[in-house]
């Protein structure tokens, strides 16, 4: 499990890889918290699942925690490159309306910036 952080036009992009399962989810949670702690404006976040090979309910829990932390501050979350397994998890948990799914990083960033105005 690994996570890298980058930024594009003020949108924070988290590229996840490997299996997002217990106990590795703590690393994801801490990395996201650190990256968003320095933000004064409402956070705009993209999670890239291109290199994710699996995720369990604890991985989904981390995404929900991020959402519950940033939503009250006006933050938004988008997901890209979601494989069938992860998408099924998100759909089964009825979170498909919470995590907007986009085809590309460019589409996700543009949509998040549009909603920021």
Going from N- to C-terminal start, the domains of the chain cover 2-116
Q: What is the pLDDT of residues 16-55, one digit of tens each?
A: 999 999 888 989 999 999 999 887 788 999 999 999 998 9
SS3 of the chain: the string is CEEEEEEECCEEEEEEEEEECCCCHHHHHHHHHHHHHCCCCCCEEEEEEEEEEEECHHHHHHHHHHHHHHHHHCCEEEEECCCHHHHHHHHHCCCCCCCEEECCHHHHHHHHHHHHC
Confidence of residue 106 (pLDDT cuts 50, 70, 90): very high
pLDDT of residue 87: 87
Q: What is the pTM of this model?
A: 0.92
CATH superfamily, domain 2-116, is STAS domain (3.30.750.24)
């Amino acid at each position: 499990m690994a996570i890298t952080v980058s930024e594009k036009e003020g949108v924070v992009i988290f590229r996840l890889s490997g299996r997002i399962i217990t106990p590795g989810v703590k690393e994801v949670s801490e990395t996201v918290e650190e990256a968003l702690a320095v933000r004064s404006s409402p956070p705009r976040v993209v999670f890239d699942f291109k290199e994710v090979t699996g995720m369990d309910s604890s991985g989904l829990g981390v995404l929900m925690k991020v959402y519950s932390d940033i939503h009250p501050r006006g933050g938004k979350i988008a997901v890209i490159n979601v494989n069938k397994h992860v998408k099924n998890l998100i759909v089964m948990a009825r979170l498909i309306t919470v995590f907007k799914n986009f085809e590309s990083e460019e589409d996700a960033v543009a949509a998040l910036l549009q909603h920021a105005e």
